[in-house]
Structure 1
């Protein structure tokens, strides 16, 4: 069993696969900041590297009866992490369909893990961030209070090159702190549930 004081494994999920997307640059910025820390192992998980068709499992994900190889591979990827930082653009007041689809594929692999949100858009991605809180709430994933909202007008030069304003660095550090705090607490919750479910 993992020691409660050992470092967490945290996935930085790139939530867009659109050609010309800005999400990969944002995820790189997040990852570079995370790499300066020693409290967790941070890895980028790009949905472009995990192509999933529209949900094609016959059984509801809550049953965990995954039949398709792509589902089982995605489940193994998500199960290997203790917490998540989701990088998402805002599309029409919500998250991209590819991100929602990837979330919807699974259930137990998300449960009792913390998440943080780094969003971007014309309105700082705030509505995508709030929608993601609702989605993850159904999966027993608490989203930490601090989020980072990047403006296409103020944090990207000519709407293209990422140039975050200085205050975002502090917000990102707070997000890391909160994800780690909740991530450790929830890892203990998961461990306690395993012990409670073990016969004898």
Structure 2
């Protein structure tokens, strides 16, 4: 069975990320096709990248970074929950991506974004970063945008009650699992 990390890509106090994380927790708890684990960047307080080089070329010296890399190595695929700040992913998520390299290689990535445009621009950048890290970003993503985002953020509406989001989240997870199994098989060969 493949193991999937769902990475919470915001560390701000009062972050919205906890809402989609709780929503996804409910969805993946009903699936039996993989082992899912939530990984919160708050548990890995890495400084801004300050190593001599990527860990593809030199071992990291920062203890938290090494712990982060070991955690990432456990997984066969990743779902990134991301906000969009100024048309980009969060700085803490970009920093976390930069602190690892071989751990990401030849594994799939999927994205759940939130904000006024569902983090579409941030996710587009994350897809490019994923390619550079030799990941396989899946096509289908989940974009909690506009009225849905504001209803959940400011009015307390539950994402579970937004039935129109369900088809994309299921398709995203199905695609991610297909790639995770295929790439795990290929990595093992």
TM-score (norm 2): 0.93
- The one of 156, 160, 163 equivalent to 2:158 is 163
For 1:145 and 1:17, the matched residues in 2 are separated by 26
Match in the other structure for 1:16: 10
Deviations 1:100-150 (A, max 9, x none): 000001100000000110000111111111111001110011110100000
Q: CA offsets, 1:31-83, max 9 Å, x none?
A: 21011000001111000111111112123322151222112101100000110
Aligned to 1:93: 87
1:189 paired to 2:183: no
Once the two structures are superposed, residues 73-99 of structure 1 have per-residue CA deviations (whole angstroms, 9 ceiling, x without a partner) of: 011000001100000001111100000
2:74 equivalent among 59, 71, 80: 80
User: Structure 2: how far apart are the matches of 1:145 and 1:68?
Assistant: 34
Question: Which runs of 5 or more structure 2 residues have no equivalent in the other structure?
Answer: none
- The residue aligned with 1:143 is 137
Report the alpha carbon displacement of residue 156 of structure 1 after superposing the two structures with TM. Answer: 4.0
The 3-state SS of whatever aligns with 2:53 is: coil
Normalised to the residue count of structure 1, the TM-score between the two structures is: 0.88
Count of equivalent residues: 186
> What does residue 154 of structure 1 align with?
148
Superposed CA RMSD = 1.4
* 3-state SS in 1 of match to 2:153: coil
**SS of 1:42's equivalent?**
strand
Q: Does 1:134 align with 2:131?
A: no
Kindly name which structure, 1 or 2, has the bigger radius of gyration based on alpha carbons.
Answer: 1
Distance in 1 between residues matched to 2:113 and 2:54, nearest whole Å = 29
Mapped partners of 2:87, 2:158: distance in 1: 23
Instruction: Give the counterpart of 1:119 among 94, 102, 113.
Output: 113
- Tell me, what secondary structure is at the counterpart of 1:62? coil
Deviates more, 1:61-70 or 1:111-120: 61-70
Q: Which 5+ residue runs of structure 1 have no aligned equivalent?
A: 1-6, 193-200
Task: Classify 1:152/1:64 alpha carbon distance in 2 versus 1 (closer, same or farther; 3 Å).
Answer: farther
- SS of the aligned residue for 2:100 comes to coil
